[in-house]
Amino acid sequence: MATGSELPLPPYPAVALRVREAMARPEFGLDEVAHLVGSDAALAAVVLRCANSPMYRRGAPATTLSQAIVRVGAQEVMRLLLASCLASHAHAPGAFASLRRMVWLEGVAGAALCQELARLRGLKQEEAFLIGLLHRFGRIVACTCLESLVQRYRSEAHPVAIWSQLIERHQAALGLALVNRWQLPGLLANVILARHADGGGSPEESGLLDVVKTSDAIVELMITSPGVSSTDLTKVSGLGKFVEREALGRIIQKLPDFINAFEANGAGAESAPTRIALPDTTLAGGARPVRFTVTVNRGRQSSQYVAHSIAQNGLAMVGNEPLVDARLHETTIHSQPGPLHIWSLSALSRRESGAYHVELHPFALSGMERGLWVQLVSGAPAGA
């Protein structure tokens, strides 16, 4: 692994730095924040998309950057700017691109959950958001370091579990390196270190550590289950309060749109060879044969697929277009008694016999969507 100044750490985003300096002045105004954010078209687009996502949406859509910033709030805009900077780093092409994107998705979901849980517990929301985002980011830096090594030594492809074990060894140190490079508060470094050393600290650090551990458990549940309800959250240690489970259940429903707001373009395929050996399938046991069409939105494009297998955790399909792994897609399943509109996570895309074998996992289904999905998986008739 690289060390010191050689680490591929993203610089603190220039626009976020200027916004932070402006906000430190007593006379700062939201118009000034809008002007600074608007100087970077990509960041401005992210803020506008986030403001119009269910996470923040209230009333009519925000059509200008000023409206978006008023809706979101200056402090929240700062968090979005930092998250957007890290998104561009996580979404770069490379041998471990799909692994980096998955870590990024988990990090954004965890950050939003940490922020909401900190609010409910009277803890600092900004610190909770950043810890939720950054304590995983060391994995992304580790992936980037590994990419340079495997390119240099032409390493063979291995299953994702093998690479993940290697990355896990370095993630805490690399996450702390980013906190130090960005000169973030020592509280963040202490909690990130405690998270990976199973330690504790001051009451404030212990409270934030509990928040991070709880959000990590929820994210794991989201990745392994088609949908997570407030009832499902009773399985998560540390969530004994009904009000917390209800509030986090509502946040989970908003996460797909929020995560997708950071995607500049959902279309496109990998531009670098992967070093991750693809499995035969990502579907859980007990898949049954089906035949219906599926429409997947890929940015501004949409593609048609024919599903041939379904399991509790996903669909296997065939089509003429590949899908980028570890990316969320708005998906329409054209089945009886009517179309099912859901968010799905692309889990596998492989060229076979002149077409593409693609697998999707349903992501953060609502209660109604989840009921329809279970019915679809079982093959039970409508209303059964």
Asked if residue 125 and residue 83 are part of one domain, the reply reads yes
Last residue of a domain, which of 223, 244, 260? 260
Q: Higher model confidence: residue 151 or residue 251?
A: 251
User: Count of domains in the chain?
Assistant: 2
Ramachandran region of residue 24, left (φ > 0), alpha (ψ -120 to 50) or beta? Answer: alpha
Last residue of a domain, which of 260, 279, 296? 260
Asked if residue 250 and residue 114 are part of one domain, the reply reads yes
Asked if residue 208 and residue 331 are part of one domain, the reply reads no
Q: Higher model confidence: residue 200 or residue 256?
A: 256
**63 Cβ neighbours under 8 A, 6+ residues apart:** none
- Identify the pLDDT of residue 119: 95
**1 Cβ neighbours under 8 A, 6+ residues apart:** 142, 145, 170
The answer to whether 97 and 270 have CB atoms below 8 angstroms apart is yes
137-153 vs 74-90: helix crossing angle, rounded to 10:
20
112: amino acid identity, one letter: A
Asked if residue 207 and residue 343 are part of one domain, the reply reads no
Asked if residue 316 and residue 210 are part of one domain, the reply reads no
User: What's the number of CA atoms in the CB half-sphere (13 Å) around residue 238?
Assistant: 16
Percent of the chain with pLDDT over 70: 93
- Identify the pLDDT of residue 282: 95
> Taken in order 251, 252, 253, 257, is the CA torsion positive or negative?
positive
Asked if residue 212 and residue 110 are part of one domain, the reply reads yes
pLDDT digits (tens, 9 = 90+) for 45-55: 999 999 999 99
Q: Which residues pair with 296 in a beta bridge?
A: 303, 331
Asked if residue 177 and residue 310 are part of one domain, the reply reads no
Measured CA to CA, the distance from residue 138 to residue 104 in angstroms comes to 11
Asked if residue 304 and residue 224 are part of one domain, the reply reads no
In a domain, 278, yes or no: no
In a domain, 279, yes or no: no
State yes or no: pLDDT of 16 exceeds 50: yes
Asked if residue 47 and residue 150 are part of one domain, the reply reads yes
- Identify the pLDDT of residue 266: 45
State yes or no: pLDDT of 352 exceeds 60: yes
Asked if residue 211 and residue 299 are part of one domain, the reply reads no
Structure tokens given for 248: 């986090």
Asked if residue 300 and residue 255 are part of one domain, the reply reads no
State yes or no: pLDDT of 187 exceeds 70: yes
Measured CA to CA, the distance from residue 133 to residue 173 in angstroms comes to 15
State the average pLDDT for the chain: 88
In a domain, 282, yes or no: no
- Identify the pLDDT of residue 269: 45
Mean pLDDT within 145-167: 80
In a domain, 267, yes or no: no
Asked if residue 245 and residue 152 are part of one domain, the reply reads yes
The answer to whether 342 and 227 have CB atoms below 8 angstroms apart is no
In a domain, 111, yes or no: yes
In a domain, 274, yes or no: no
Q: Which residues pair with 342 in a beta bridge?
A: 331
Q: How many residues does the chain have?
A: 384
Domain span holding position 122? 4-260
Structure tokens given for 209: 């550590």
Confidence bin at 141 (pLDDT 50/70/90): confident
The answer to whether 171 and 196 have CB atoms below 8 angstroms apart is yes
φ, ψ at 338 (rounded to 5°): -170, 175
In a domain, 221, yes or no: yes
Tell me the CATH number at 112: 1.10.3210.10
- Identify the pLDDT of residue 314: 96
Last residue of a domain, which of 216, 240, 260? 260
Tell me the CATH number at 303: 2.40.10.220
In a domain, 8, yes or no: yes
Measured CA to CA, the distance from residue 275 to residue 16 in angstroms comes to 34
